[in-house]
């Protein structure tokens, strides 16, 4: 089955900005943190914010303390004044596009124009807009309502930013019949317009549409109406648990779109449920899915990939082929990733519930796998010498202490970075460093190799390979990582810059391999390994263009790059 996800699905700019402002505030300030009303129309996001201690303030008390964030919809000037008068510190997270509409109403109402708002009278954004029109505004929802407006000389027409374009144009024609002069400002957000147009187009190409988002979200409801109006079966769900995947049996093409308040991890879960019915524990999962799931969830394929990368690094260093260092690398990665998956189950409940469920159901076998799978690495390292063994012990300790406080909270200078995970970009950098340590440095300690420019280039090779892998997954998990306070490159510099960084890194990797081979700093294997710099570029570009979607297939493809390196190294070794 082909599944197409609309490019404009998920958080719009205004919602993303508001969520990030709330998260930054919750992590930065002391004291209570509130949002005035639900931040967005999505129960799952609100539940996560509640877990971080962010409460919803429904009524304004006479006296209060703490910080209140105004949600993306905005509020009336009178409401903001009451919040400040009550003693709250107010942070305005109103969407910039909504602020633009507010200013238009402020200006033209003062100049004597009759404000007319196309929207839903009970929507928070519209309530705020009416307040900026000083209460003297007409809210219309249909052409008929517009034709019933009293006649006047001049009017200013704006729209709730998430309204339907076709509806707005119909109302505009009706308003022209009631007023002599019209100031027409089509303030429907470009993102909303693109989202609706894309939903219309996609609905004509598929056999069914899945619309993901809160049932109370106006813009999501309109997407569902647009899809259903195109004549295809349409399913509006908040989470993957509401899906009846049997409805898609026999279909060849299904489309997925999502409202502006839907986070990407929920879209991923819905996509996985449609693509792989076994994610929901239901019938329809084939042998291929079961095998992929087992290899991914147990981290066995990842451990094998680490061994392959280590083997390639050994040959790049000019060392004779051996399995001891790859065994150490595979054992270490297996132990670390299973352990950290146990620790990170809070995040996995949202961005990968299938993994969280797998770990909950198989705690004892997975713990045994971590122990007995990790033990051979320590045994082999001990046999190779104290340098290898102590290095492995140290990097294992660092890996397990990632979530543990390093120093007392009283040390204010370090207060913000009490844990390693609090350091900007730490998750991405530490993972790459740990992998480079076991795949490139440990072979040197185990078998001896000169500390020269060749060693530096091999360390860069391993680090760049792992950084590219980790950064791809960081982009996928950026929203949930911000929620659970994981500091990755993507949460630090943003997904767009991270994708650019991946491309630059892979181009640099190709350059290092070519230069190292030409100048004989590295053996001719360096030229053979060039596909390992090209393959992730192809995967990344396919993901950006929507040809690849998050899931087990993408994980296997990304990790297969390490297996490719090992396979090339084995083939090269047989030729020389």
Binding residues for dimethylallyl diphosphate: 41, 73, 123, 217, 219, 261
Bridge partners (DSSP) of residue 257 are 211
Tell me the C-alpha distance between 550 and 387, whole Å. Answer: 40
125 is catalytic: yes
Kindly report the length of the chain.
576
DSSP state of 421: G
- Count CB atoms within 10 A of the CB of residue 137: 21
Structure tokens at 368: 């045994």
Q: Which residue has the tokens 């997407």?
A: 223
- Point out which residues pair with 4 in neighbouring strands: 255
Per the annotation, binding residues for [4Fe-4S] cluster are 12, 95, 189
CA–CA distance, 199 with 464 (Å, rounded to integer):
38
183 strand-pairing partners: 156
Residue 92, token pair as written in the block? 């305005």
Give the SS3 label for residue 234: strand
Query: Tell me, what DSSP letter sits at residue 242?
Result: G
Is residue 209 helix, strand or coil? strand
Phi first, then psi, for residue 138 (nearest 5°) are -100, 135
Q: Choosing from 51, 78, 125, 252, which is the catalytic residue?
A: 125
Tokens for 254? 């299904």
Residues in binding site:
12, 41, 73, 95, 123, 161, 189, 217, 219, 261
Cα–Cα distances in angstroms (integers) from residue 131 to residues 77, 124, 283, in the given order: 7, 11, 53
562 within 8 A of 551, measured Cβ to Cβ = no
Cβ 456 vs Cβ 515: under 8 Å: no
Q: What is the DSSP string of 123-181?
A: SHHHHHHHHHTTT--EEE-SHHHHHTSPPEEEEEEEE-TTS-HHHHHHHHHHHHTTEEE
Q: How far apart are CA 390 and CA 258, in angstroms?
A: 50
Return the closest-CA partner of residue 522 out of 459, 464, 568, 453.
453
Determine the Cα–Cα distance for residues 52 and 483; give it in Å rounded to an integer: 8
The DSSP H or E segment spanning 276 is none
Number of H helices, E strands in the chain: 26, 12
CA-to-CA separations, 177 to 144, 155, 167, 188, in angstroms, rounded: 12, 12, 16, 22
* Pair of tokens at residue 371: 């122990």
Residues belonging to the active site: 125
């Amino acid at each position: 089955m082909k599944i197409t996800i609309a490019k404009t699905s998920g958080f719009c700019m205004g919602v993303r900005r508001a969520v990030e402002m709330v998260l930054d505030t919750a992590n930065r300030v002391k004291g209570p943190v509130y949002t005035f009303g639900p931040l967005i129309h999505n129960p799952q996001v609100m539940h996560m914010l509640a877990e971080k201690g962010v409460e919803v303030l429904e009524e304004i008390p006479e006296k209060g303390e703490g910080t209140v964030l105004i949600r993306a919809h905005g509020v009336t000037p009178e409401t903001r004044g009451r919040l400040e008068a009550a003693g709250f510190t107010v942070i305005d997270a109103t969407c910039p596009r909504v602020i633009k509409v507010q200013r238009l109403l402020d200006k033209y109402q003062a100049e004597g124009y009759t404000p007319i708002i196309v929207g839903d009278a009970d929507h928070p954004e519209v309530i705020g807009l009416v307040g900026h029109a000083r209460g003297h505004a007409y809210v219309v929802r249909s052409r008929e309502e517009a034709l019933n407006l009293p006649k006047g000389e001049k009017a200013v027409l704006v729209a709730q930013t998430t309204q339907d374009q076709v509806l707005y144009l119909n109302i505009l024609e009706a308003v022209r019949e009631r007023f002599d002069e019209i100031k027409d400002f089509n303030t429907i957000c470009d993102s909303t317009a693109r989202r609706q147009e894309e939903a219309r187009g996609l609905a004509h190409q598929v056999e069914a549409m899945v619309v993901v988002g809160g049932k109370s979200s106006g813009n999501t409801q309109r997407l569902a109406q647009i899809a259903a109006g195109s004549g295809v079966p349409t399913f509006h769900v908040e989470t993957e648990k509401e899906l009846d995947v049997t409805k898609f049996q026999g279909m060849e093409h299904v489309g997925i779109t999502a409202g502006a308040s839907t986070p990407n991890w929920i879209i991923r879960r819905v996509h996985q449920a449609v693509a792989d019915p076994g994610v929901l524990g239901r019938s329809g999962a084939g042998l291929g899915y079961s095998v992929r799931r087992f290899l991914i969830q147990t981290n066995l394929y990842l451990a094998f990939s680490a061994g392959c990368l280590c083997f390639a690094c050994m040959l790049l260093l000019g060392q004779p082929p051996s399995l001891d260092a790859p065994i150490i690398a595979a054992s270490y990665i297996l132990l670390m990733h299973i352990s950290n998956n146990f620790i990170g189950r809070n995040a996995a409940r949202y961005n990968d519930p299938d993994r969280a469920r797998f770990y909950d159901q198989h705690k004892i076998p997975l713990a045994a796998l971590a122990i007995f799978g990790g033990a051979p690495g320590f045994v082999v390292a001990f046999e190779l010498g104290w340098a290898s063994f102590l290095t492995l012990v140290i990097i294992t300790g660092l890996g397990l202490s990632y979530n543990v406080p390093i120093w007392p909270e009283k040390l204010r200078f370090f207060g913000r970075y009490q844990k390693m995970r609090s350091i900007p970009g730490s998750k991405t950098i530490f993972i790459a460093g740990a992998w480079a340590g076991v795949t490139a440095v440990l072979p040197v300690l185990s078998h001896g190799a000169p500390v020269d420019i060749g060693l530096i280039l091999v360390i860069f090779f391993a680090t760049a390979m792992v950084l590219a892998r980790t950064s791809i997954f960081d982009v996928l998990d950026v929203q949930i990582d911000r929620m659970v306070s994981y500091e990755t490159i993507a949460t630090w510099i943003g997904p767009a810059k991270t994708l650019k960084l991946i491309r630059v890194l892979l181009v640099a990797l190709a350059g290092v391999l070519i230069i190292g081979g030409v100048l004989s700093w590295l053996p001719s294997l360096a030229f053979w390994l060039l596909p390992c710099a090209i393959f992730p570029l192809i995967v990344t570009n396919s993901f950006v263009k929507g040809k690849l979607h998050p899931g087990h297939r993408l994980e296997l493809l990304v990790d297969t790059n390490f297996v490719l390196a090992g396979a090339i190294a084995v083939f090269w070794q047989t030729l020389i």
